[in-house]
Amino acid sequence: MKLQIFDSTLRDGAQGANISFSVDDKLKVIQTLDALGIDFIEAGNPFSNPSEMQFFQRIAGLRLSHAKIVAFGSTRRKGVPAEEDSNLRSLLAANTEYVAIFGKSHIMHVTDVIKATPEENLAMIGESVKFLTEHGKKVIFDAEHFFDGYKTDAAYAMKALETANAAGAYALCLCDTNGGIFPDEAYEITRKVTERFPDTIVAIHCHNDGGLAVADSIEAVKAGARQVQGTFLGFGERCGNANLSTIICNLQLKRGYECIPPEKLKEIYQSAMAIAETANVAVPENQPYIGMNAFAHKAGMHADGVLKYSSSFEHVDPESVGNKRKLPLSEISGKSAIYDKLKNYFPSLDKNGKEMSEIVAALKERSLSGYQYEGAEASFILLVEKILGKYKSSFDLINYKVINELPAIEGKVSSAIIKIRVDGTTKISASDGEGPVHAMDLALRSALSDFYPEIRKVTLTDFKVRVLDSDKATAAKVRVLITSANGADSWTTVGVSEDIIEASWTALTDSIDYALMRR
């Protein structure tokens, strides 16, 4: 059965804390969602400010392959005729085929919030829907606070829907505006609505204040809802909205509904990453289906099981949504997981041989001293090279010295002097930096660039420090992670020491060694 997917990332999602979209950002999100096969994209409220109206004017000529753009607004104001209401007129000016308007369906909101009589509110709903439909619009009526309203006064909540439906609404959307209902309530109340309006599309719009928005939405679909609203990554005001990426995967992979074209399902992961980058947010690593760790198996027994029989610890094939299986390297990794990670680097490695046992033992031993290779695979590959006798250092360190000086001179607070040897040739290099690691990095690159010109293309892109034993205060051991890149590729290395400079040096030299090894 085909379901309609209604994405509100650019409207409800934009109400989330720290979320802000430029016009170009919005266009990127629209194009991503359209390419994925999303049916409706709620692009914003043209009445809210002039820039929103300008945005609708800009996208009027946008050629989309699938999605319909939706303008959002409210029913007419109390005491203002529909034809004179500036909000409704802005919806007409937005020039979209579909519009969504919200109206009150909770009796207490009618009497205590907008200070209207029950009859007056129904007139506001009916006249607004009729005005828009008579001007050629397909109206999605959002019954605000519907579930709470239904539990307070079911007859009045239903009357609000009946009024919108009689006025020609295309769809009736049941909103859990406070985000507090339970899945059984979502099912029972939605079922009564779908039975009452069998010939009208019933939609579900849930917020996640109780952590149940996805479950509530799925139960509403089970009860007959045929349109699901939410935001693609789940962000939105307060605790966010129903996460469409999770809902789509659950319903399409496990319940047989068609939410997006079947061939598009493998694009879910990349679409999520694109939207997250545009919104400048990180997808939670444990996010179902699309998180970086959604299919990560760290425990040795789990990794061994999933390699032998994938469904033992994977509820779906990661590739079905465009994601990948991960086998993080740690002290609890089993031999199977470690071998699976290494076999492409070292094809001659024997899974049951002596060297493999040495690698496993080294991993566990180094974990005791604070090393963690889950996010530092490059350092682990170098460690294995040393165990296998394949490692050849790109240079030998003779010594280094780091000096910090305050006040800063032209923004530089540190100096580093490095003396190295490459194939019998000694080189000394010095550099100033904005910190000791920066100065060391620049000095080392300067010293090596005469021997390895390609090192100039390698850049340090991330630097993290974690204290491992905080009870020792400033004498604590630290773990340093350095991420480097050479344009198309990136890798992470690790160093551990009570001396943050030494830990940084270890991670830095591993990064250089790995870059040169990959030649």
Phi, psi (degrees; rounded to nearest 5) at 97 = -70, -35
Which H/E stretch holds residue 397? Answer: strand 396-409
Average pLDDT taken over every residue of the chain: 88
Q: What is the pLDDT of residue 56?
A: 85
- Tens of pLDDT, residue by residue over 276-335, are 888 888 888 889 998 877 776 655 555 555 555 456 667 888 888 888 866 655 555 566
Q: What is the pLDDT of residue 298?
A: 59
Half-sphere exposure of 311 (CA within 13 A, CB side): 1
Pairwise CA distance, residues 224 & 201, whole Å: 9
Token look-up 């409706």 returns 40
Q: Which two tokens stand for residue 459?
A: 């850049």
- Tens of pLDDT, residue by residue over 31-40, are 999 999 999 9
Sign of CA dihedral 437, 443, 444, 445: positive
DSSP summary character for residue 215: H
State mean pLDDT over 211-238.
Answer: 96
CB 221 within 8 A of CB 193: no
Distances (CA, A) of 388 to 349, 382, 465, 487, 512: 9, 10, 30, 30, 20
Omega cis (within 30) before 46: no
Which H/E stretch holds residue 499? Answer: none
pTM over 0.95: no
Which H/E stretch holds residue 118? Answer: helix 118-134
Pairwise CA distance, residues 2 & 34, whole Å: 17
Using DSSP, state whether 119 is helix, strand or coil.
Answer: helix
Of 333 and 188, the structure prediction assigns the larger pLDDT to 188
CB 270 within 8 A of CB 230: no
Pairwise CA distance, residues 401 & 416, whole Å: 6
Q: What is the pLDDT of residue 239?
A: 95
Give every CB contact of residue 84 below 8 A, 6+ residues apart in sequence: none
Distances (CA, A) of 83 to 90, 128, 130, 163, 408: 11, 9, 10, 18, 66
CB 241 within 8 A of CB 12: yes
- Tens of pLDDT, residue by residue over 457-504, are 888 888 888 888 777 777 788 889 988 888 768 888 999 998 889 999
Pairwise CA distance, residues 449 & 451, whole Å: 5
Pairwise CA distance, residues 140 & 430, whole Å: 67
Distances (CA, A) of 323 to 11, 232, 273, 287: 27, 16, 11, 12
Phi, psi (degrees; rounded to nearest 5) at 79 = 85, 0
Percentage of the chain beyond pLDDT 70 is 93
Pairwise CA distance, residues 175 & 307, whole Å: 43
CB 70 within 8 A of CB 43: yes
Pairwise CA distance, residues 336 & 387, whole Å: 18
Pairwise CA distance, residues 370 & 477, whole Å: 8
Pairwise CA distance, residues 1 & 88, whole Å: 34
Domains of the chain: 4-279 (3.20.20.70), 300-368 (no CATH), 395-451 (3.30.160)
Pairwise CA distance, residues 306 & 336, whole Å: 10
State mean pLDDT over 83-96.
Answer: 92
Longest CA–CA span in the chain (Å) reads 93
Percentage of the chain beyond pLDDT 90 is 51
- Tens of pLDDT, residue by residue over 94-140, are 889 999 999 999 999 999 999 999 999 999 999 999 999 999 999 99
Pairwise CA distance, residues 220 & 191, whole Å: 7
Instruction: Please say if the pLDDT value at position 355 is more than 90.
Output: no
Q: What is the pLDDT of residue 502?
A: 92
